[in-house]
Every structure is written in structure tokens, then in C-alpha cells.
Structure 1
């Protein structure tokens, strides 16, 4: 790969190389399915279930960014949605395909960098991101927001779960500039409600709250240390 910067994409790729975990990292992360990571369980996020229970969401076309082993994608398919679920890790997607087959639902799993997706404008009713956004480096945030806006139809909904700044799960309490001074996302960036409102200012806020803690015996996933947020495309 040439290390000469002549285009904006060259600049983005250079910054990516300083900060992004390689594909091999994520494949290794998902390779051991028994290592006790809380979100390895096959349960949907409690906020996602609430959106359906309160009729904020219904069946439609869904794009999930950073789907991992597919727990939320499978739930969305069970609710009658047509789901495109994207992740960088082949290991995660193979696991997701096995789970979908066990549940007898159809999910279109796509192995790709989310910034290399070819998205038809206005294709989706709902875009979901559970734990991907806090791994997005600041220099990619503009691209990320443009991608979400392009993917959604007018009045379409977008939701994330992400680290609370300085929360019990991590959530690095550093500025965007400090990310580049340290050349690290410190395991995932943390956010305040104020920061989320500022970053997503071009969307209408439907709800921002902390994720509700759930017990292992519950039928939904919920832990402390995460924000859940729901936005509408204006």
C-alpha cells in the first residue's frame, strides 16, 4: 500500500491504521464462544424489545451495524423485519448464521467494513448499532453519520447503545484530540448525554436513557454502563 497521501480517503486510511483493531483481532475475540462475555448470550437488547413493545418500531427493512453473533438481528427477524446485518468478523457471522438457522429465521449476514458498504438511499426503516459506535474513531464520525442518514428513509429511526463516559464497562473519558495524541481509543470511547445530543444534532431525539440492568434469567440483555438512544431522521 502506498504511504503517499494525495486524497481525503488516503488520509482517512492512514488514521484508520493508527487506531483500528485489525480484522484478526475481532476474529480472535469471537473465536472462543465460552469465555463469558456478557453480550455473547443470545438475547436481544432490552431497549430494542421496548421499542417494539411500545410500538415505536414495527416490521420493516433493517440495517444492523456491527451485528456480532447476531442476537439482535435474529430478534428483529423474529419480529418480521427484513434484516441486513453487517460485521467485520467472519467468526462472528458464522456464529450468527448458526443461531439464525436454529431459530429458523432469515438474516442477510454481510462480512464487510461498514465504511465500504454500498447503500441504496432511503432503503431502511431502521438502523441499529449495538456497541459499534464507541469503536468508531473521531475522524470517521462524519462518514458514519452520512451513511446512517443515507440509509434511512424520511422519518426513519436509528438507535445505538454505547459506553457511558467513565462507566463501569470502560468508556474512555478523553477528548477527540487526545485520541490522536495517545493513538488509541482506549478500548472504546465514552459519551455523555450532552455529547450524544451534539453529535446527533441533525436527528430528532426520541429517547436517550441508560440501559436497564437485567438478570441472567431474563429474556433480554441489559447491563449498567451503557447509554441507549433512539433518534429519528428529520
Structure 2
């Protein structure tokens, strides 16, 4: 049975205002649309070529599929989300699989409150949920927990192609908040795909960004 969420002191994000409900509500009546019960194929490919080094932060981790996959490869992983129900599912999955992962509630726009630093940061499906103003705040928040030279991966819906997902992002919209920040340098932005419960291949971008 879903857990009862604690009152959330955060102001609602643009996505929550538009949806008329908090992120936690997405997990109360079964799997969320983005909850595929497995790591994203793009994350698997990154791991297979050594793209992650610890400690790793999975921001907006949801039910933890990506975090659990990375941790099972022997890396220390910390997953954060604002949806308490998703975190409860993630913790139970970690226990069931005997995988050591830390999951905690945290606001992605204020990651400095974690008082932690990470060598790799994964954003799988969160960036595109923020509006233009929130993305500026988010990019600064990510910088506050990134070690010098840390790698950030941003996997988000793209506006290129057919069958685009909700909140599709243009290449310019993805580039701008990082290009305008003194903390980050974009290495690559490449076409990718995201899996959802309804589509195996939704157009996406995969950005690789390095902390200066």
C-alpha cells in the first residue's frame, strides 16, 4: 500500500502547478509513466563504457532503477527525490536486491542542503520538467554538489523527431543555462532515446557536462 506523504514545505514547481498535484501523486496509483522497472538503456550504455565514478548522485531518482543499477556495479550512489512514495519503493527494492544505496528526500533546486559532493551526477528525466527560470536555479544547485571536474549527464526529452514526450526541450534550451553558468562546460549534446511505460523509444538528448 502506498505510504502517506509528509507535508511538503517546498513551493510547487512549474510542472506541479501545471499538473495541479505534487510529484508524489504520480506514484500513488501504480507506476508512473516514466517508471519502466529497469534502468534506462542510455544509462546502461554509459555504465558499460565506464561513464560513472563514485560517489554518484542520481537526482530525481524516482523508484531508483538507475541508482540501483549503478550501485550494483560497485559504486557508492545517493538517490534523491521529492516523492516520498517513490523513495519508499526504491528503498524496498534496494533491500530486496541487497544493494547498498542511500535514498533521501531532497529538493533538486536546493541540493546545497545535502552538504555532500559528487564525482558523477545523473539527471534522467528531470531537467525537462523545469521551466526556463527554474533551470537556471537548477544548474546552480547542481554545481553546489559537484566536485571540480565532476561529470553531469542530463537525459531529457527532445523536440526533434516524431512522437516527442511531454515538455520536449530544444537543443538551445538545454544548452543555454549551462553555457550561461561559470561553473559548467558542455562537452557533448547528442541525440538519444528515453523509454517510458508507453513507448520504447521517445526522442531525447543526452548532454555531458563537466564541472569547471
Q: With structure 2 as the length reference, what TM-score do the two structures score?
A: 0.78
**Which residue matches 1:40?**
35
Task: Mark the runs of 5 or more structure 2 residues left unpaired by the alignment.
Answer: 1-9
- The one of 63, 82, 96 equivalent to 2:76 is 82
Q: Does the C-alpha gap of structure 1 residues 46 and 170 become closer, same or farther in structure 2, counting only changes over 3 Å?
A: closer
Deviations 1:74-129 (A, max 9, x none): 012112221121111111111111211122112111123223441336x1001111
- The root-mean-square deviation of aligned C-alpha atoms, in Å, is 2.9
Matched, 1:206 2:187: yes
Task: Give the distance between the partners of 2:187 and 2:211, measured in 1 at CA.
Answer: 10
CA contact (8 A) 1:125 1:157 kept: yes
- The one of 94, 109, 112 equivalent to 2:106 is 112
Q: Does the C-alpha gap of structure 1 residues 169 and 116 become closer, same or farther in structure 2, counting only changes over 3 Å?
A: same
**Which residue matches 2:145?**
151
Deviations 1:45-89 (A, max 9, x none): 22222222222333x111111111100110121122211211111
Task: Mark the runs of 5 or more structure 1 residues left unpaired by the alignment.
Answer: 1-12, 172-187
Q: Does the C-alpha gap of structure 1 residues 142 and 120 become closer, same or farther in structure 2, counting only changes over 3 Å?
A: same
Matched, 1:69 2:52: no
**Which residue matches 1:129?**
123
Deviation at 1:199, TM superposition (A): 2.5
Instruction: State the number of aligned residues.
Output: 195
**Which residue matches 1:163?**
157
**Which residue matches 1:50?**
45
> Larger radius of gyration, structure 1 or 2?
1
| 2:50 alignment partner, SS class | coil
Q: With structure 1 as the length reference, what TM-score do the two structures score?
A: 0.72
| 1:106 alignment partner, SS class | coil
Deviation at 1:31, TM superposition (A): 1.7
| 2:172 alignment partner, SS class | helix
Q: Does the C-alpha gap of structure 1 residues 213 and 65 become closer, same or farther in structure 2, counting only changes over 3 Å?
A: closer
Q: Does the C-alpha gap of structure 1 residues 108 and 161 become closer, same or farther in structure 2, counting only changes over 3 Å?
A: same
